[in-house]
Amino acid sequence: MNALDEIIGAVRADLAKRRRLIPEAELSDRVAEVGPGLDCAALLSGADGLKVIAEVKRNSPTHLSSVPCRPGDRLADILDPAGLAAEYEAGGAAAISVLTERHRFGGSLADLDAVGARVRVPLLRKDFIVDAYQLWETRAHGADLALLIVAALEQPLLAELLALAAEIGLTPLVEVHDETEVKRALDAGAWVIGVNARDLRTLEMDRGVFARLAPEIPEGVVRIAESGVRGPQDAVAYAAQGADAILVGESVVTGGDSRKAVAELVAAGRLGGGRGGVVTSP
């Protein structure tokens, strides 16, 4: 069993508990009340410079010494996720990513609620979504984007979840790590694709993955570089390689001045060029 399988096993166990407490029909009613989210494909396109998605991230699985996550194991002991997100927004973040997985990352839907009540930029729920229930849950808690990880989903389910996300007003961010996964994402109809430099099965990092895969992603599809952003130099590089946006967690969480760290990434991304272009969504 690899690292991704272990994470998904815990996610499914937590999901079963939440499903017993709140029926899917109740979540559907909540989604009808909140309405559709923002059109994040347009907001994250690189037409006017590289965008930064800054992450509220208590931990990375590569930093854990135990599972479930305990406070002493954390990458950052974030007591005020809403305050951190507000700093990101003030620094120019185009969107906020909130990790809600509990066991490996120490997150929760309460974090998502708190951040959503504080900021106005779009919210990404970053979790391991393997069931339609989680998409209803995601929009009911106010997120505008939902992460769909190709490596965690069989192709029919990937296509089904992508279509449902669009139907209920979520922008699906479809995450890939290799050429086969890019093809699968495109075949399923993805219009926002994130290239993760970290292989979730082995947890190994390869910062060259985005440069290799970006040419496989056609014009009209938003390209997001995920993981491996250590500072402004990486933002410049990713922009030059054709990224519309970067998703960054560790360096802005641990750097001390989160607002400044985000602002520096935003400024550096403009120097990299970016590809711009028109982004279309269904």
CA–CA gap between residue 80 and residue 67 (Å, rounded)? 23
Indicate which residues carry an active-site annotation.
55, 57, 126, 175, 196, 226-227
Where the chain has pLDDT below 50, the residues are 64-73, 276-281
What is the pLDDT at residue 74?
57
CA–CA gap between residue 39 and residue 81 (Å, rounded)? 24
Cβ(130)–Cβ(8) below 8 Å: yes
What is the pLDDT at residue 282?
54
Strand partners, 147: 173
- Domains within the chain, CATH numbers bracketed: 3-34+41-271 (3.20.20.70)
Q: Which helix (DSSP H) or strand (DSSP E) does residue 209 occupy?
A: helix 209-213
The verdict on pTM exceeding 0.85 is yes
What is the pLDDT at residue 270?
81
What is the pLDDT at residue 276?
46
